[in-house]
Structure 1
Amino acid sequence: MEPWYSLHWLNPAQWQQFHIVYPLALSLIPAVPVLFLVRYYLNRKAQQRLNISLGQLRSGVGRLQTRRSWLGLLRYLVPVSVFIGTGFLLAALARPQIVRELRDEQSEGIDIMLAMDVSESMTETDLPPNRLAAARRVAQLFVNSRKNDRIGLVVFAGEAFSLCPLTTDYGLLKQYLSELNSQMIRTSGTAIGDALARCINRMRERLPSPIDTAQTETNPWKPERSKLIILLSDGDNTAGNLDPITAAKLAKAFNIKLYTIAVGRPVSSTSQAVTVDEGILKTIATIGNGSFFRATDTRRLQSVFAQINRLEKSPIRVRIYEDVQDFYRIYLYWGITFLLCAMLLKNTIFGNVLED
């Protein structure tokens, strides 16, 4: 840092960096010369002069007047010094300081399990290029929008498998999502109950997995992390060993919310059965204290994930630290220096003893 007597502290650019605590003190600086002017006009008729007879010094009047004019100007050193010193004292009183703000954001995050239907019916093209590809792409965008959350992935058709445990390694998770296809599970059908059971089992595990990069230390005083399951499917429960309603009740017992998304358009005709059954998806969402959504096109599917993203925000604790550095002493030293100079000048030829 520059020494206090450096002209660096008088640079206007330096003052632009300061935070002024008491700006009223700076507004009083222009009032100081006004006080000097008022004092001058009030005392100008009462000024005492010492008349000196020049006698035979008329020949040197010109030179003497020039000298007197210079001395007259130098006599203003005292009031100027007082004015500058007072201005610096007011600047110090304004308390200039530099404040550096540090923000520390902490979020516990929430646990999210994605349950993706990869059955043969997800290859229908009512959502271009097909239902599974559209759901896969939108799920990747959803993962990108989350922060500090642990997200896992379960895939199901006639059976359910845990593809990725809860993790904060979003790159790994998006890689798993990009590899989803309808040939992953050969068993036909839609095992919604088994998929929910896999998700619940992952969330109730106490020991973290090796790829889980979240904090592993447990603190009994911290609140439990929020948990939710997002299930995407296009059909009714037609396979599996566990009833979806039973699985939804089990999720409710573990304080896990259920969000269900019906992917695709319901088409019904004499030759084609209903391709999307909303009944069981609505029921388990109601039991799981969540919501049911229908995604009939890609844009709607994106809006559904955006809505879930808005509903399920992890609480963030923000701590703000302020590093405050005061600089009023520098201007206090300047002010004292000029006032001391004014007192010294009072005792020289620049002071007028008759007026004091």
Structure 2
Amino acid sequence: MLTLAMVIIALARPQRSNEKVEQSTEGIDIMLVMDISESMDLQDFEPNRLEAAKSTAIDFINGRFGDRIGMVIFAGEAFSLAPLTTDYELLTDLIDDISFDMMDAKGTAIGSAVATATNRMRESDSKSKVMVLLSDGDNNAGNVDPTFAAELAEAMDIKIYTIAVGKDGMVPYGTDFFGRPQMVESYLNETTLRDLARIGKGQFFRASDDKALENIFEQIDQMEKAEILESRYKETQDFYRPYLFLGVIFFFIWLGLKSTFVNNFLLD
């Protein structure tokens, strides 16, 4: 009976399958372009526009996977803070250290910033290239026309998202002698940023507070996802051999005991 049982199990060919799934991503190249001009110190965001933008940008970076991300900052001139990299820890440290005294030139050179970011992405061979520009002002400095810079970016298949940061009207800025909040007038001209997004085949956003800014970065995060490539491997192992081997052993044991007193005893 044991012999027959082992043979039946062996004929059933018991197996164990081990399926492996390997995932890889075809990342996106993203260049963050951030305004650090004096008006970014206005406090209609907590604690001000620049710090809110930095915090949200860091959260955005930490939510990405497999993308190369770089950073350009600008005021009256533009400066490449970080090339495209996957070293997110280094990048977030650099962003955390951004301050208003990093540039002496006054004003808002949006055209120069777009041109600098485009130049940083010039040699990228990624299938998807994205620029996210954040500013609270109109182009009033630099020697590069924003429209020309955007057309150059579009020619290199760089999609441009623009975010206008701030409220129109009276907004808080510092305190007076008695510690009371001071109010200054803020006016944001959206025209340039809207034109950049239109030329760059991206999208324009308006952020009036911290929450709106977070929501905008979340939207961009959802729209610009890396392509996940999945490969499946299936390994199968047969386990019929031990049962067949045991069946053969039991068979020979039965043959050896067939003519002995043990077999006669069992028959009796």
Decide: shared fold, TM above 0.5: yes
Does structure 1 residue 235 correspond to structure 2 residue 147? no
Q: 1:162 deviation in Å? A: 0.9
Aligned to 1:226: 128
Does structure 1 residue 196 correspond to structure 2 residue 114? yes
Q: 1:306 deviation in Å? A: 1.6
Q: Quote the Cα distance in structure 1 between the aligned partners of 2:141 and 2:94.
A: 24
1:251 to 123, 147, 153: 153
Counterpart residue type for residue 244 of structure 1: P
Q: 1:202 deviation in Å? A: 0.5
Q: Quote the Cα distance in structure 2 between the aligned partners of 1:320 and 1:186.
A: 55
1:38-70 deviation line (CA, Å, top 9, x unaligned):
xxxxxxxxxxxxxxxxxxxxxxxxxxxxxxxxx
Q: Quote the Cα distance in structure 2 between the aligned partners of 1:266 and 1:92.
A: 80
Work out whether residues 267 and 276 of structure 1, in 8 Å CA contact, stay in contact via their aligned partners in 2. Answer: no
Work out whether residues 3 and 250 of structure 2, in 8 Å CA contact, stay in contact via their aligned partners in 1. Answer: yes
Q: 1:302 deviation in Å? A: 1.6
Uncovered stretches (5+) of structure 1, i.e. residues with no partner: 1-81, 207-222
Counterpart residue type for residue 197 of structure 1: A
Aligned to 2:176: none
Residue 163 of structure 2 aligns to a residue in which SS?
strand
Residue 123 of structure 2 aligns to a residue in which SS?
coil
Q: 1:289 deviation in Å? A: 1.1
Does structure 1 residue 123 correspond to structure 2 residue 48? no
Counterpart residue type for residue 73 of structure 2: V
**Change in 2 beyond 3 A, CA 1:128/1:224:** closer
Task: Write the mapping of 1:77-116 to structure 2, written as runs, cut at 5 A.
Answer: 82=1, 84-116=2-34
2:210 to 298, 303, 315: 298
Aligned to 2:78: 160
Does structure 1 residue 333 correspond to structure 2 residue 253? no
Does structure 1 residue 134 correspond to structure 2 residue 57? no
Query: How many residue pairs get matched?
Result: 254
Q: 1:122 deviation in Å? A: 0.6
Residue 211 of structure 2 aligns to a residue in which SS?
helix
Q: Quote the Cα distance in structure 2 between the aligned partners of 1:89 and 1:306.
A: 61
Work out whether residues 10 and 240 of structure 2, in 8 Å CA contact, stay in contact via their aligned partners in 1. Answer: yes
**Change in 2 beyond 3 A, CA 1:170/1:161:** same
**Change in 2 beyond 3 A, CA 1:255/1:88:** same
TM-score under structure 1 normalisation?
0.65
Percent of aligned pairs sharing the same letter? 49
Q: 1:97 deviation in Å? A: 3.0
Q: 1:227 deviation in Å? A: 0.7
Does structure 1 residue 288 correspond to structure 2 residue 200? yes
Aligned to 2:175: none
Aligned to 1:181: 99
Residue 183 of structure 1 aligns to a residue in which SS?
helix
Q: 1:98 deviation in Å? A: 3.4
Greater RCO (CA < 8 Å, at least 6 residues apart): 2
Q: Quote the Cα distance in structure 2 between the aligned partners of 1:275 and 1:100.
A: 63
Q: 1:250 deviation in Å? A: 1.1
1:246-296 deviation line (CA, Å, top 9, x unaligned):
211111110000011112223269x96543222221221111111112222
Q: 1:328 deviation in Å? A: 1.4
Please tell me whether Structure 1 or Structure 2 has the larger radius of gyration of its CA atoms. Answer: 1
Counterpart residue type for residue 159 of structure 2: K
Q: Quote the Cα distance in structure 2 between the aligned partners of 1:264 and 1:90.
A: 78
Counterpart residue type for residue 226 of structure 1: S
**Change in 2 beyond 3 A, CA 1:339/1:121:** same
Q: Could you say what the CA RMSD is over the residues aligned between the two structures, in angstroms? A: 2.5
Q: Quote the Cα distance in structure 2 between the aligned partners of 1:264 and 1:305.
A: 15
Q: Quote the Cα distance in structure 2 between the aligned partners of 1:94 and 1:132.
A: 69
**Change in 2 beyond 3 A, CA 1:258/1:345:** same
TM-score under structure 2 normalisation?
0.85
Residue 169 of structure 2 aligns to a residue in which SS?
coil
Residue 324 of structure 1 aligns to a residue in which SS?
strand
Aligned to 1:313: 225
Q: 1:178 deviation in Å? A: 0.6
Work out whether residues 28 and 126 of structure 2, in 8 Å CA contact, stay in contact via their aligned partners in 1. Answer: no
Q: 1:339 deviation in Å? A: 4.1
1:172-219 deviation line (CA, Å, top 9, x unaligned):
21111011112222222111111000000010137xxxxxxxxxxxxx
Q: 1:161 deviation in Å? A: 0.9
